[in-house]
Amino acid sequence: MLPRGTLTSGVFYSHDAWDQYWEGTLKRSNGNIGTLTTQTVTWVAGYGIADRLSVVAALPYVWTHASQGVLHEMSGIQDLSAAAKYRLVSTSIAGHGVLNTFIAGAAALPMSRYSPDFMPLSIGTAGSRASASLTIDYEATSPWFATASGAYTFCNNVRLNRDSYYTNGQLYLTNEVAMPNVIDYVLTAGVARGAWRVPLSLTQQVTLGGGDIRRQDMPFVSNRMDFVRLEAGAMYAPRALHGFSLRASAAHVLSGRNVGQSTTITSGLMYAVRL
């Protein structure tokens, strides 16, 4: 949580790449893609409205590139997302630490007219969405902490620039695509000591519907996209930097369905000031 009256802002850069992906449950490579690289620069800002309530917004610029074949790269401003987080309960556990429970709500809206119908080069799904999450966090009196979180995302339909499409064994004579909703689970544990905070997270995404990529076909925007991802990170915020904090992380997809087995490197700089 951000302390009351604290404004924070920063920029993150991420580099995501894969040369193998799951076509349904079949893991394969593709000479028409080679290595698919997605780079993202994201502006992030947050504000502490109260000690129990914080808000945050993010806006990414994304560009994609395939190292082989003739697929054209894409780039542009993606989706503006905004979220609010509220601390429901904070309980001390007999001198052993503090247990906090949070709820959060978030929404995202496309900010440019990019096409979702050119996966995996598309920069997003071009659909609005909203989510709700519950988080339980334990901060021990020792340097250790642990967090468990679950989120449900409601996804609106998207529209294609064509009058029909085929997916999941069925022909649809419309340009409107029903998008499946999504559930995410995150387990995190780590160490927080002095100016350092070092978390290790395991994330699972489960798509509630959608079909698989057809053999030798391109992905489709409403495909089921499931994965398990492991991520390690670090945040360094010494007093000498006067409100600045440095952040970095590395993540790798361990298993999946209709997604690339990607490795993602992220770094960023945040600045916080008390108004």
User: What domains lie within the chain, and their CATH numbers?
Assistant: 6-274 (2.40.160.40)
Question: What percentage of the chain's residues is helix, strand, coil (to nearest 5)?
Answer: 0, 65, 35
Nearest CA among 232, 271, 198 for reference residue 44: 271
pLDDT tens digits, 102-146: 999 999 999 999 999 999 999 999 999 999 999 999 999 889 999
Give CA 38 to chain center in angstroms: 13
- The pLDDT of 140-165, averaged and rounded, is 96
Contacts of 267 (CB under 8 A, 6+ apart): 12, 13, 14, 246, 247, 248, 249
Token representation of residue 143: 């340097």
- The pLDDT of 46-63, averaged and rounded, is 97
Contacts of 195 (CB under 8 A, 6+ apart): 236, 237, 238, 239
- The pLDDT of 29-52, averaged and rounded, is 97
Nearest CA among 15, 23, 18, 20 for reference residue 216: 23
Single-letter residue type at 207: T
pLDDT band at 62 (very low <50, low <70, confident <90, very high): very high
Q: Are 180 and 210 in contact (CB under 8 A)?
A: yes
pLDDT band at 192 (very low <50, low <70, confident <90, very high): very high
- The pLDDT of 175-203, averaged and rounded, is 97
pLDDT band at 239 (very low <50, low <70, confident <90, very high): confident
- Specify the pairing of strand 226-236 against strand 244-257: antiparallel
Nearest CA among 119, 127, 132, 112 for reference residue 178: 127
pLDDT band at 10 (very low <50, low <70, confident <90, very high): very high
pLDDT tens digits, 242-267: 899 999 999 999 999 999 999 999 99
pLDDT band at 14 (very low <50, low <70, confident <90, very high): very high
Percent of the chain with pLDDT over 70: 100
Whether residue 241 is predicted with pLDDT greater than 90 in this model: the reply is: no
Residue 173 to residue 128: CA distance in whole angstroms: 22
pLDDT of residue 112: 96
pLDDT of residue 240: 85
Percent of the chain with pLDDT over 90: 93
pLDDT band at 95 (very low <50, low <70, confident <90, very high): confident
CA distances from 33 to 28, 119, 221, 252 (A): 11, 11, 17, 19
This prediction's pTM: 0.94
pLDDT of residue 1: 87
